[in-house]
Amino acid sequence: MDKPLSGRRAIVTGSNSGIGLGTAEALAAAGAEVVLNSYTDRDEDHALARDVAARHGTSVRYIKADMSKPEECRALVQQAGGCDILVNNAGIQHVAKIEDFPIDKWNAIIAINLSAAFHTTAAALPGMYANGWGRVVNIASAHGLRASPFKSAYVAAKHGIVGLTKVTALEAAGKGITANAICPGYVLTPLVEAQIPDQMKTHNMDRETVIREVMLDRQPSRQFATVEEIGGTTVFLCSAAAAQITGTTISVDGGWTAE
């Protein structure tokens, strides 16, 4: 099997679940050594790393680091021994009107969904510059390009990470390093599952109606994107064919942002 990323080390933040795990799997399948991460340190987190390693025949480690804490973001990169591929994926969501939005939720979303990427990128770039090769892939969102009501912190953080991506690309341009943001539409992961009960209450609808008429209403394909598709897009951005793709966004959203 083709292993185009063998010899590359990838860190994927927030990767014991959902899109992060799907992306880690895709990178491991392409031959990369992978570092999984989340804020927990359970036996099952380390068992997951062993499982991904066994299935793809590559080295996989799990390193605990809380992406809401700047020093832990930077320590993750140091503990990994640097990286060739950095996927900033960790993210959380909270849905409330601006006037009711809890301050601690605002601060946590900005810290995890935006500031963490600044800290990990700052820690990873010197090693990438030294090697003359690097890929920074930020998992933004359709909400990095469009807004929805009740998601003030999330939309602000995701628009912010699109801006950070562009600055990273400009500073690293011509040095073998690219930085891009993937903007998924709805992907059925635990993060989206958790929004369904609130949306059911807000719209007074059952689960299937919320999925069809509230969530996938924004997505002209009327289909969720999959974690495999996001992982495949990341692997593409790490390929030779993508060497001149930098400072941009790639939407994987079934046509949401075409409208």
Tell me phi and psi for residue 192, to 5 degrees: -80, -40
Range in contact with ligand NAD (rule: CB under 6 A) among 125-133, 169-177, 180-188, 238-246: 180-188
| Cβ-based burial of 175 (10 A; exposed 0-12, middle 13-18, buried ≥19) | middle
Selected binder of ligand NAD within 134, 184, 231, 254 (CB under 6 A): 184
Using DSSP's 3-state secondary structure scheme, residue 184 falls into strand
Question: At CA 100, angle to CA 97 and CA 104, rounded to 5?
Answer: 110
CA distances from 22 to 4, 143, 256 (A): 18, 20, 22
In the DSSP assignment, the letter for residue 242 is G
Among residues 132 and 190, whose Cβ is nearest to ligand NAD? 190
Q: Give least dist CB 229 to ligand NAD, A.
A: 11
| Cβ-based burial of 236 (10 A; exposed 0-12, middle 13-18, buried ≥19) | middle
d(C-alpha 56, C-alpha 142), whole Å = 31
Are residues 249 and 242 in contact, defined by beta-carbon separation less than 8 angstroms?
A: no
Range in contact with ligand NAD (rule: CB under 6 A) among 49-57, 86-94, 125-133, 169-177: 86-94
Q: Give least dist CB 25 to ligand NAD, A.
A: 12
List the x/- string, 129-168, binding to ligand NAD by CB under 6 A.
----------x-x---------------------------
Q: Give least dist CB 150 to ligand NAD, A.
A: 15
The residue annotated as part of the active site, out of 39, 62, 129, 154, is 154
Q: What residues numbered 91-110 form the site for ligand NAD, per CB under 6 A?
A: 91-92
Range in contact with ligand NAD (rule: CB under 6 A) among 3-11, 17-25, 79-87, 171-179: 17-25
Q: Give least dist CB 59 to ligand NAD, A.
A: 20
Among residues 122 and 191, whose Cβ is nearest to ligand NAD? 191
Q: Does 18 bind ligand NAD (CB under 6 A)?
A: yes
d(C-alpha 154, C-alpha 202), whole Å = 18
d(C-alpha 140, C-alpha 184), whole Å = 7
Q: Is residue 154 annotated as part of the catalytic site, yes or no?
A: yes
CA distances from 161 to 7, 114, 141, 183, 247 (A): 28, 6, 9, 11, 11
Q: Give least dist CB 56 to ligand NAD, A.
A: 19
Instruction: Give me the residues that bind ligand NAD (CB under 6 A), please.
Output: 13-20, 38-39, 66-68, 89-92, 112-113, 139, 141, 184, 186-187, 189-192
Residues marked as catalytic: 154
